[in-house]
Chain A
Amino acid sequence: AQKVTQAQTEISVVEKEDVTLDCVYETRDTTYYLFWYKQPPSGELVFLIRRNSFDEQNEISGRYSWNFQKSTSSFNFTITASQVVDSAVYFCAFKISNFGNEKLTFGTGTRLTIIP
């Protein structure tokens, strides 16, 4: 069975600081996808990124960057120069790469608060 661990329950940083959200996963599968979703106070989940297990290249999108390391089974998310609008709950999720099995396994989430 797969498992996703987000050990940081809550994080608070002052605006403009950098912050990294940790995600560690467990699986015996060799092909899979990893995801990050953002849940703002309004409640909906907003898709941020999907990563294939074969692609370990780090990715940068504006102030967001992701560090995928298969050797440590981690998929960490860094926000650079944080802003108040980044305040939300962030979820890491896992899915095996098997067409027809679309089940996502979520971590318990990290609540990020950016202090003005």
Chain B
Amino acid sequence: DGGITQSPKYLFRKEGQNVTLSCEQNLNHDAMYWYRQDPGQGLRLIYYSQIVNDFQKGDIAEGYSVSREKKESFPLTVTSAQKNPTAFYLCASSIAVQPQHFGDGTRLSIL
């Protein structure tokens, strides 16, 4: 079945460490997105990419980095510069003007 796969489901980060969250889709969607969700808040856009080798900052890009070397993959790196990384991270993809499809999310915590 086509869909979006995020891994791992749970991730722990030590202080000063970079971690990378994986997002893979087999829907042949052109656009991919990363959102952050905090308790009691809506989803906030971190980065998005509409084509391979191109991406744009969202509303809260500081402390994060992405790459889009393949259409299917859009990994998110949470760098040590992100001082409050504990959150639920959701990846999404879409094609044309169709609604975004979401993965199951990765929950990141700080050790």
Does B2 belong to the interface (CB within 8 Å)?
no
- Can you list, as one digit per residue, whether each of B65-103 has a CB less than 8 Å from chain A (1) or not (0)? 000000000000000000000001010101011011111
Does A44 belong to the interface (CB within 8 Å)?
yes
A106 / chain B contacts, CB cutoff of 8 Å: 42-44
Q: Could you say which interface size class chain A belongs to?
A: 20 to 34
- Can you list, as one digit per residue, whether each of A81-116 has a CB less than 8 Å from chain B (1) or not (0)? 000000000010000010110111011110000000
Does B48 belong to the interface (CB within 8 Å)?
yes
| B102 shortest CB reach to chain A, Å | 4
CB of A44 within 8 A of CB of B102, answer: yes
CB of B42 within 8 A of CB of A45, answer: no
CB contact between A103 and one of B45, B90, B105 (< 8 Å): that residue: B45
Q: Could you say which interface size class chain B belongs to?
A: 20 to 34
Q: How far is the CA of A91 from the CA of B50 in the complex (A)?
A: 23
A42 / chain B contacts, CB cutoff of 8 Å: 104
Contacts between the two chains (Cβ within 8 Å), count: 56
- Can you list, as one digit per residue, whether each of B22-51 has a CB less than 8 Å from chain A (1) or not (0)? 000000000101000000111111001010
A91 / chain B contacts, CB cutoff of 8 Å: 42-43
- Tell me whether A47 and B99 are in contact in the complex, defined as CB-CB below 8 angstroms, given that A42-B104, A102-B50 are known contacts: yes
Contacts from B to A (Cβ < 8 Å) = 31, 33, 40-45, 48, 50, 58, 88, 90, 92, 94, 96-97, 99-105, 107
Contacts from A to B (Cβ < 8 Å) = 4, 6, 9, 33, 35, 37, 42-47, 50, 91, 97, 99-100, 102-104, 106-109
